[in-house]
Amino acid sequence: MSEKQEEIVEDSVVDSTEETEQAVSVDSVEEVVEVDELTLVKQQLEEEQDKAIRSRADFENYKRRVQKDKEADYKYRAQPLLLDILPVLDNFERALAVNATTEEATSLVKGVEMVYRTLLDAVTKEGLEVIEAEGVAFDPNFHQAVMQEKDDSKEPGIVLQELQKGYKLKDRILRPSMVKVNE
């Protein structure tokens, strides 16, 4: 072979070696890029699955909260009406506290008492309960102390007198009892 031919062969060997090295590096770069893209896609999939799970959990919590609110609304549906009726019950009790001296007044008191009992039965069916006060220990959850008095025959903190009846609807306080408490 001539010198020229040898140079061409050497150049082609060098060129093919460089091409092979370049091809190998391109293939490895493509593999790295493919691996990185695959990892990225897997991460995105996991993030989207996590979002979907969280969204489903949030929706289930929302449904549970709405159901609980709906049950509470149904349970206490009579509250606004009963709050309006409480002063009527107070007035009936004041009217029944009056001593009737004549026969007409006595029959009128009996009629008022019958209406009062009927009204009381109706509101009791809806869940209205009277809060016991006199003679029990003062409880700020059920009683509102408006006066204090000293009575040595009773223990301190005992309700001496109920000034206004308190009521609750099922387990919710509508109006606390106004009471006089022993010091």
* 53-76 pLDDT per residue, tens: 999 999 999 999 999 999 999 999
What's the token pair of residue 98? 């009056």
What's the token pair of residue 106? 């006595």
What is residue 132's three-state secondary structure? coil
**Residue 83 · residue 169 · CB < 8 Å:** no
Phi, psi of 129 (to 5 degrees): -130, 145
* 90-115 pLDDT per residue, tens: 999 999 998 888 999 999 999 999 99
Name the amino acid, one letter, at 41: V
Tokens 């609807």: give the residue. Answer: 169
CA pair distance 57, 113, nearest whole angstrom: 56
Contacts of 115 (CB under 8 A, 6+ apart): 92
CATH architecture designation of domain 76-182: Roll (2.30)
What's the token pair of residue 142? 């059920």
pTM of the predicted model over 0.95: no
User: Residues 31-48: what's their mean pLDDT?
Assistant: 85
Q: Which residues pair with 167 in a beta bridge?
A: 130, 175
